[in-house]
Structure 1
Protein backbone atom coordinates (compact mmCIF):
# COMPACT_ATOMS: atom_id res chain seq x y z
CA UNK A 1 0.00 0.00 0.00
CA UNK A 2 1.20 3.49 -0.75
CA UNK A 3 2.16 5.83 2.05
CA UNK A 4 0.25 9.07 2.56
CA UNK A 5 3.16 11.17 1.30
CA UNK A 6 3.37 9.11 -1.90
CA UNK A 7 -0.36 9.58 -2.51
CA UNK A 8 0.01 13.34 -1.95
CA UNK A 9 2.82 13.42 -4.53
CA UNK A 10 0.64 11.51 -7.03
CA UNK A 11 -2.19 13.99 -6.44
CA UNK A 12 0.15 16.93 -7.09
CA UNK A 13 1.50 15.35 -10.27
CA UNK A 14 -1.96 14.57 -11.63
CA UNK A 15 -3.19 18.06 -10.69
CA UNK A 16 -0.28 19.70 -12.53
CA UNK A 17 -0.64 17.48 -15.61
CA UNK A 18 -3.11 17.57 -18.50
CA UNK A 19 -4.59 14.25 -17.40
CA UNK A 20 -8.26 14.16 -16.46
CA UNK A 21 -8.09 10.69 -14.89
CA UNK A 22 -5.31 8.56 -13.40
CA UNK A 23 -5.46 4.94 -12.20
CA UNK A 24 -2.69 3.28 -10.18
CA UNK A 25 -2.88 -0.38 -9.25
CA UNK A 26 -0.47 -2.20 -6.96
CA UNK A 27 -0.89 -5.60 -5.29
CA UNK A 28 -4.46 -5.72 -3.95
CA UNK A 29 -5.23 -2.01 -4.03
CA UNK A 30 -6.30 0.33 -6.78
CA UNK A 31 -6.25 4.12 -6.61
CA UNK A 32 -8.26 6.14 -9.09
CA UNK A 33 -8.04 9.93 -9.33
CA UNK A 34 -10.23 12.21 -11.43
CA UNK A 35 -9.88 15.93 -11.86
CA UNK A 36 -12.95 18.00 -11.26
CA UNK A 37 -13.11 21.18 -13.27
CA UNK A 38 -13.08 23.13 -9.99
CA UNK A 39 -9.57 21.90 -9.22
CA UNK A 40 -10.40 19.44 -6.43
CA UNK A 41 -9.00 15.95 -6.91
CA UNK A 42 -11.26 13.03 -6.04
CA UNK A 43 -9.58 9.80 -4.95
CA UNK A 44 -11.14 6.41 -4.61
CA UNK A 45 -9.52 3.19 -3.51
CA UNK A 46 -10.77 -0.35 -3.52
CA UNK A 47 -9.35 -3.82 -3.31
CA UNK A 48 -8.65 -5.42 -6.67
CA UNK A 49 -10.84 -8.41 -7.40
CA UNK A 50 -8.84 -11.21 -9.02
CA UNK A 51 -10.47 -12.61 -12.17
CA UNK A 52 -11.27 -16.29 -12.34
CA UNK A 53 -8.42 -18.38 -13.72
CA UNK A 54 -8.66 -18.68 -17.50
CA UNK A 55 -6.37 -20.07 -20.19
CA UNK A 56 -6.48 -16.88 -22.24
CA UNK A 57 -4.08 -14.02 -21.78
CA UNK A 58 -4.99 -11.74 -18.86
CA UNK A 59 -7.34 -8.92 -19.77
CA UNK A 60 -7.32 -5.47 -18.23
CA UNK A 61 -9.88 -5.31 -15.48
CA UNK A 62 -12.11 -2.54 -14.32
CA UNK A 63 -12.87 -2.37 -10.63
CA UNK A 64 -15.69 -0.20 -9.33
CA UNK A 65 -14.72 1.60 -6.15
CA UNK A 66 -16.94 1.00 -3.15
CA UNK A 67 -16.79 4.60 -2.06
CA UNK A 68 -15.26 7.85 -3.19
CA UNK A 69 -13.26 10.04 -0.88
CA UNK A 70 -12.60 13.71 -1.54
CA UNK A 71 -9.08 14.70 -0.66
CA UNK A 72 -8.29 18.29 0.26
CA UNK A 73 -5.07 19.70 1.64
CA UNK A 74 -5.79 21.04 5.10
CA UNK A 75 -3.59 22.44 7.80
CA UNK A 76 -4.02 21.09 11.31
CA UNK A 77 -5.92 23.50 13.51
CA UNK A 78 -3.67 25.23 16.00
CA UNK A 79 -3.79 23.60 19.39
CA UNK A 80 -3.70 25.79 22.47
CA UNK A 81 -0.81 24.53 24.56
CA UNK A 82 0.47 25.55 27.96
CA UNK A 83 3.43 27.84 27.19
CA UNK A 84 5.43 26.37 30.09
CA UNK A 85 5.63 23.02 28.30
CA UNK A 86 8.66 22.20 26.14
CA UNK A 87 7.99 20.79 22.66
CA UNK A 88 10.24 18.05 21.32
CA UNK A 89 10.10 18.54 17.55
CA UNK A 90 11.12 16.41 14.60
CA UNK A 91 14.49 17.46 13.19
CA UNK A 92 13.57 16.01 9.77
CA UNK A 93 10.84 14.68 7.53
CA UNK A 94 10.32 10.97 8.10
CA UNK A 95 8.35 8.22 9.81
CA UNK A 96 7.87 8.38 13.59
CA UNK A 97 8.50 5.20 15.59
CA UNK A 98 7.65 5.03 19.28
CA UNK A 99 9.63 1.80 19.85
CA UNK A 100 13.08 0.52 18.83
CA UNK A 101 11.43 -2.61 17.34
CA UNK A 102 7.85 -3.90 16.94
CA UNK A 103 8.21 -6.28 19.91
CA UNK A 104 9.91 -3.79 22.25
CA UNK A 105 8.39 -1.44 24.80
CA UNK A 106 7.99 2.24 23.80
CA UNK A 107 10.92 4.52 24.60
CA UNK A 108 8.63 6.75 26.69
CA UNK A 109 5.01 6.93 27.82
CA UNK A 110 2.94 9.77 29.25
CA UNK A 111 4.35 10.30 32.74
CA UNK A 112 7.85 9.03 31.89
CA UNK A 113 10.75 11.03 33.33
CA UNK A 114 13.35 12.07 30.75
CA UNK A 115 16.76 13.70 30.84
CA UNK A 116 18.30 15.84 28.13
CA UNK A 117 20.03 12.81 26.58
CA UNK A 118 17.10 10.35 26.90
CA UNK A 119 16.04 8.80 23.60
CA UNK A 120 12.30 9.40 23.16
CA UNK A 121 11.67 8.01 19.64
CA UNK A 122 13.10 7.21 16.22
CA UNK A 123 12.46 9.14 13.02
CA UNK A 124 13.23 7.05 9.94
CA UNK A 125 14.28 8.94 6.84
CA UNK A 126 15.63 7.29 3.69
CA UNK A 127 16.17 3.97 5.50
CA UNK A 128 18.21 5.64 8.24
CA UNK A 129 16.86 5.36 11.78
CA UNK A 130 17.61 8.56 13.70
CA UNK A 131 17.29 8.47 17.49
CA UNK A 132 15.67 11.63 18.83
CA UNK A 133 16.73 12.88 22.26
CA UNK A 134 14.57 14.82 24.72
CA UNK A 135 17.07 17.73 25.05
CA UNK A 136 15.37 18.72 28.30
CA UNK A 137 14.94 17.27 31.80
CA UNK A 138 11.31 16.69 32.71
CA UNK A 139 8.20 14.56 32.42
CA UNK A 140 6.40 13.53 29.21
CA UNK A 141 2.94 15.16 29.35
CA UNK A 142 1.61 14.27 25.91
CA UNK A 143 2.61 12.24 22.84
CA UNK A 144 1.38 14.17 19.80
CA UNK A 145 1.91 11.61 17.01
CA UNK A 146 1.06 7.97 16.44
CA UNK A 147 3.51 5.16 15.79
CA UNK A 148 4.23 4.85 12.07
CA UNK A 149 2.90 8.35 11.29
CA UNK A 150 4.68 10.57 8.77
CA UNK A 151 6.11 13.68 10.42
CA UNK A 152 7.36 16.96 8.97
CA UNK A 153 10.43 18.99 9.85
CA UNK A 154 9.73 20.99 13.01
CA UNK A 155 6.49 19.12 13.81
CA UNK A 156 5.96 18.76 17.58
CA UNK A 157 6.24 15.11 18.70
CA UNK A 158 6.04 15.36 22.50
CA UNK A 159 5.13 17.88 25.17
CA UNK A 160 7.41 17.83 28.21
CA UNK A 161 6.93 19.53 31.58
CA UNK A 162 10.45 20.78 32.38
CA UNK A 163 11.91 20.28 35.84
Structure 2
Protein backbone atom coordinates (compact mmCIF):
# COMPACT_ATOMS: atom_id res chain seq x y z
CA UNK A 1 0.00 0.00 0.00
CA UNK A 2 1.34 3.40 -0.91
CA UNK A 3 1.20 6.10 1.70
CA UNK A 4 -0.44 9.28 0.47
CA UNK A 5 1.30 12.51 1.36
CA UNK A 6 -0.48 15.77 1.62
CA UNK A 7 1.07 19.12 1.20
CA UNK A 8 -0.29 22.23 2.81
CA UNK A 9 0.52 25.75 1.86
CA UNK A 10 0.05 28.83 3.89
CA UNK A 11 -1.22 31.93 2.23
CA UNK A 12 0.22 35.14 3.50
CA UNK A 13 -2.23 37.98 4.00
CA UNK A 14 -2.06 40.59 1.30
CA UNK A 15 -1.41 44.07 2.58
CA UNK A 16 -1.62 47.27 0.67
CA UNK A 17 1.05 49.91 1.04
CA UNK A 18 -1.04 52.57 -0.63
CA UNK A 19 -1.72 55.43 1.73
CA UNK A 20 -5.19 56.96 1.80
CA UNK A 21 -5.54 59.98 -0.47
CA UNK A 22 -5.06 63.34 1.18
CA UNK A 23 -5.05 66.89 0.00
CA UNK A 24 -1.87 68.14 -1.72
CA UNK A 25 -1.57 71.02 0.74
CA UNK A 26 -0.96 68.63 3.67
CA UNK A 27 2.15 67.16 2.05
CA UNK A 28 4.28 70.29 1.94
CA UNK A 29 4.50 70.80 -1.81
CA UNK A 30 2.31 73.11 -3.78
CA UNK A 31 0.23 71.72 -6.60
CA UNK A 32 -0.71 74.39 -9.10
CA UNK A 33 -2.43 74.68 -12.42
CA UNK A 34 -4.68 71.65 -12.15
CA UNK A 35 -7.60 70.46 -10.08
CA UNK A 36 -6.60 68.73 -6.88
CA UNK A 37 -7.65 65.12 -6.34
CA UNK A 38 -10.74 64.44 -4.25
CA UNK A 39 -10.17 63.74 -0.56
CA UNK A 40 -11.50 60.52 0.92
CA UNK A 41 -11.80 60.14 4.68
CA UNK A 42 -10.58 56.74 5.82
CA UNK A 43 -9.07 55.23 8.93
CA UNK A 44 -5.30 55.23 9.27
CA UNK A 45 -3.71 52.19 7.67
CA UNK A 46 -0.60 50.53 9.10
CA UNK A 47 1.44 52.01 6.25
CA UNK A 48 0.68 55.54 7.41
CA UNK A 49 0.76 54.73 11.12
CA UNK A 50 4.40 53.66 10.78
CA UNK A 51 5.53 56.77 8.91
CA UNK A 52 9.01 57.99 9.88
CA UNK A 53 8.94 60.32 12.85
CA UNK A 54 11.60 62.54 11.25
CA UNK A 55 9.15 63.96 8.73
CA UNK A 56 7.53 67.22 9.68
CA UNK A 57 3.80 67.76 9.36
CA UNK A 58 4.43 69.70 6.17
CA UNK A 59 6.50 66.89 4.62
CA UNK A 60 9.27 69.35 3.74
CA UNK A 61 12.05 69.84 6.19
CA UNK A 62 12.87 66.28 7.16
CA UNK A 63 16.59 66.29 7.79
CA UNK A 64 18.74 63.59 6.21
CA UNK A 65 21.54 62.35 8.43
CA UNK A 66 23.84 61.98 5.39
CA UNK A 67 24.33 65.59 4.40
CA UNK A 68 21.56 67.39 6.29
CA UNK A 69 19.38 67.80 3.23
CA UNK A 70 15.88 69.20 3.19
CA UNK A 71 13.71 66.59 1.46
CA UNK A 72 10.92 67.43 -0.96
CA UNK A 73 8.33 64.65 -0.81
CA UNK A 74 5.54 63.70 -3.18
CA UNK A 75 2.20 65.25 -2.18
CA UNK A 76 0.24 62.72 -4.27
CA UNK A 77 0.42 59.26 -5.82
CA UNK A 78 1.23 59.36 -9.53
CA UNK A 79 3.93 59.28 -12.19
CA UNK A 80 7.01 61.50 -11.74
CA UNK A 81 8.26 63.59 -14.67
CA UNK A 82 11.40 65.77 -14.53
CA UNK A 83 10.47 67.85 -17.61
CA UNK A 84 7.30 69.48 -18.99
CA UNK A 85 7.49 67.30 -22.14
CA UNK A 86 9.61 64.36 -23.37
CA UNK A 87 11.87 66.57 -25.54
CA UNK A 88 12.25 69.41 -23.01
CA UNK A 89 15.04 70.09 -20.56
CA UNK A 90 14.35 68.97 -16.95
CA UNK A 91 12.89 71.56 -14.58
CA UNK A 92 15.94 71.10 -12.29
CA UNK A 93 19.16 69.08 -12.25
CA UNK A 94 21.60 68.18 -9.49
CA UNK A 95 23.35 71.47 -8.73
CA UNK A 96 20.39 73.67 -9.75
CA UNK A 97 19.47 76.52 -7.41
CA UNK A 98 15.78 76.55 -6.42
CA UNK A 99 13.54 79.10 -4.74
CA UNK A 100 10.29 78.35 -2.86
CA UNK A 101 8.21 78.98 -6.00
CA UNK A 102 10.45 76.98 -8.40
CA UNK A 103 8.65 74.15 -10.21
CA UNK A 104 10.84 71.07 -9.68
CA UNK A 105 8.78 68.36 -11.40
CA UNK A 106 5.37 67.23 -12.59
CA UNK A 107 3.41 64.38 -11.07
CA UNK A 108 0.69 62.96 -13.29
CA UNK A 109 -2.31 61.70 -11.36
CA UNK A 110 -5.49 60.55 -13.09
CA UNK A 111 -4.42 62.20 -16.38
CA UNK A 112 -3.87 65.57 -14.64
CA UNK A 113 -0.39 67.11 -14.75
CA UNK A 114 0.37 68.59 -11.31
CA UNK A 115 3.33 71.00 -11.09
CA UNK A 116 5.22 70.50 -7.82
CA UNK A 117 7.01 73.52 -6.35
CA UNK A 118 10.08 73.39 -4.12
CA UNK A 119 8.82 75.50 -1.18
CA UNK A 120 12.47 75.65 -0.01
CA UNK A 121 15.38 77.76 -1.21
CA UNK A 122 18.66 75.95 -1.82
CA UNK A 123 20.63 73.76 -4.21
CA UNK A 124 19.40 70.40 -5.54
CA UNK A 125 21.87 67.82 -4.20
CA UNK A 126 20.00 64.57 -4.90
CA UNK A 127 17.22 63.38 -7.18
CA UNK A 128 15.76 60.23 -5.64
CA UNK A 129 13.47 59.07 -8.49
CA UNK A 130 13.84 58.49 -12.21
CA UNK A 131 11.79 60.12 -14.95
CA UNK A 132 8.57 58.18 -15.61
CA UNK A 133 8.78 56.30 -12.30
CA UNK A 134 5.59 55.79 -10.25
CA UNK A 135 5.74 57.58 -6.88
CA UNK A 136 3.79 57.14 -3.66
CA UNK A 137 2.43 59.78 -1.30
CA UNK A 138 5.27 60.98 0.96
CA UNK A 139 8.05 59.43 -1.16
CA UNK A 140 11.30 61.43 -1.29
CA UNK A 141 11.76 63.23 -4.62
CA UNK A 142 14.62 65.71 -4.13
CA UNK A 143 17.27 66.47 -1.51
CA UNK A 144 17.89 70.22 -1.17
CA UNK A 145 20.91 71.70 0.62
CA UNK A 146 20.24 75.14 2.09
TM range (shorter): 0.5 to 0.7
Answer 1 or 2: which has greater strand percent: 1
How far apart in 2 are the matches of 1:124 and 1:135? 19
Distance in 2 separating the partners of 1:83 and 1:91: 23
Structure 1 unaligned residues grouped into runs of 5+:
1-35, 41-79
Does 112-121 or 81-90 show the bigger shift?
81-90
Aligned to 1:93: 77
Q: How many residue pairs align between the two structures?
A: 88
Shift of 1:37: 2.9
Q: 1:9-28 residue pairs with structure 2 within 5 A?
A: none
Deviations 1:96-128 (A, max 9, x none): 001100000001000000000000000000000
**Over the residues paired in the alignment, what is the CA RMSD in angstroms?**
1.8
- Which residue of structure 2 aligns with residue 123 of structure 1? 107
Larger of the two Rg values belongs to structure? 1
Distance of 2:112 and 2:135 partners within structure 1: 15
Segments of 5+ residues of structure 2 without an aligned counterpart are 1-7, 13-63
Q: Runs of 4+ in structure 1 displaced over 4 angstroms?
A: none
Q: 1:154 aligns with which of 121, 138, 141?
A: 138
TM-score (norm 2): 0.56
Corresponding position of 1:138: 122
Instruction: Report deviation, 1:38.
Output: 3.9
Q: Distance in 2 between matches of 1:83 and 1:103?
A: 32
Residue 47 (structure 1) aligns with: none
**Does 2:65 match 1:84?**
no
